[in-house]
Structure 1
Amino acid sequence: MAKIALALAARGTDEEAFKAWGTRAVGAPNTKQWGSGKELLTHMVNASNGGGNCIERLYIFSHAWPYIPGGNRGGVKLGGVDVAGFYSQPSLYDDTDARYINDFAQLVQEGKITFCSTCKVIFTGCRVASSQFPVEFLHVSGCQVIASNGSSHPKPGTPPGDQTGQWLSTAGGWTEQQAKQNENHYVGWINYSLTSTGEVNEKRLGEEIKIW
């Protein structure tokens, strides 16, 4: 079984940046653009090649969420109108091409999406960790999952983080800055993994990590 590294880059606003980051992370042939949750899952199915391959590393470059006290809906979305992404649960106005954790779980259970026994998934969208979505993805895939609990972006510098792979997750606005200062709200990266007994282990990685 061949081990695959795959990057899925969202279309819409910032799609050229997402595509470029995917190319730097895994190479152009293994970087695919997605315009809906349906297409995102289809790329995972195609990469798995009927069980002939397993996904060892998966990057999902996308937009996600503004700061919402108490957390967000959960999932990842395209640049633009938020109706056709990949989410925890359905919402009333979702497009018919939106997809959900249950759809993902069914494809994994059927063997249409296969992950390697040791695998890592990185979500680069802002505040993906401000929901149960990373834990849900972890339980389905069995992979280590890394996600941001703040405003995520490549680190500025010379050379910049979108070349070196250094990424930040920080407080993105006044309300979030106040929550960080006054309520000890964590805005960095979180690593999710399963213990030997199947429990979820969450490890705070800080506000700067290297993702490729």
Structure 2
Amino acid sequence: MANKKLALAATGKDEVAFESWAIRAVGKENAKKWSSGKNLLEHLVQASSGGQDCIDKLYIFSHAWPYDENGNRGGVKIGGPDINGFYLDRRLYDHNDARYLNDLIQLIRAGKVKFCSAGEVYLTGCRVASSPFPQYLARVTGSTIYAANGSSFPKPGNPPGDKTGEWISGVDLWEEQQAAKKGLYVGWLKYRYDSSTQQVTEEKVGQKTSKGYVLDIW
């Protein structure tokens, strides 16, 4: 069994940047574009080789969510209308090519998708951690999940974070800035599933800077 690395770059708005980051993270041969939730799961099936291999490290470069004090629906999406991504649950307006955590569960149970026992998944979309999505993903895959609770972007500087692998989770517009001043955590969160207790632990990670919290993702 081979341990696979895979980076998935969302199409649509900013797809050139997403693809560039995916290549830097895992190499050109392991970087793929994804255009829908359906397509994202197809890449996971292909990487798993029918259960003969396992996914050791997965990056999903994508758009996600604006700041909302009530959180968001959970998941990741391509650069366009929010109708055909990979989500926590179904909504009435979703496209037929949208997919959900339950679809991934079915593929794992069928042996078509397999994650390595000590695997890692990096979700770079903004505020993906502002929902239960990464917690459930940790439980479903058994992997350690890293997700941003704030606005996510490469660390500015020379060389920039999209070359060094240093990523920031921080604040964006005024409303989120005010919430952060009142105690909202806008950094990175790490989710780990403990099979012995069947519980998911949540841990704040990353180095605090003036712009947010920096995490080395590759």
- TM-score scaled by structure 2? 0.95
1:186 maps onto 2:192 in alignment:
no
**SS of the residue 1:180 aligns to:** helix
Equivalent of residue 208 in structure 1, options 210, 214, 218: 214
Q: Distance in 1 between matches of 2:16 and 2:157?
A: 20
- Name the residue aligned to 2:135: 135
Q: Equivalent residue of 1:97, what SS?
A: coil
Q: Which amino acid aligns with 2:191?
A: Y
Q: Distance in 2 between matches of 1:90 and 1:197?
A: 29
Residues 1:111 and 2:111 aligned together: yes
Q: What residue is the counterpart of 2:31 in the other structure?
A: 31
Counterpart for residue 100 of structure 2: 100
**Which AA in structure 2 matches 1:79?**
G
Query: What percent of counterpart residues are identical?
Result: 56
Amino acid at match of 1:123: L
User: What pairs with 1:1-212 in structure 2 (closer than 5 Å)?
Assistant: 1-182=1-182, 184-195=183-194, 196-206=196-206, 207-212=213-218
Q: What SS does the corresponding residue of 2:4 show, helix, strand or coil? A: strand
1:36 Cα deviation from its structure 2 partner: 0.3
The alignment partner of 1:57 has SS state of strand
User: Where does the alignment leave 5 or more consecutive residues of structure 1 unmatched?
Assistant: none
Equivalent position amino acid for 1:210 in 2: D
Report the CA distance between 1:106 and its aligned residue. Answer: 0.4
Unaligned runs of 5+ in 2: 207-212
Query: Match of 2:16, SS?
Result: helix
SS of equivalent residue, structure 2 residue 81: coil
Runs of 4+ displaced beyond 6 Å: none
Distance 2:178 2:101 in 1: 32
RMSD: 0.7
> TM-score normalised to the size of structure 1?
0.98
1:41, distance to aligned residue in structure 2 (A): 0.2
Following superposition, the deviation at residue 194 of structure 1 comes to 1.7
Q: Distance in 2 between matches of 1:89 and 1:202?
A: 21
Shift of 1:51: 1.3
In 2, Cα distance between the equivalents of 1:52 and 1:26? 20
Find the aligned partners of 1:194 and 1:40 in 2 and give their Cα distance.
Answer: 23
- Which is further off, 160-169 or 200-209? 200-209
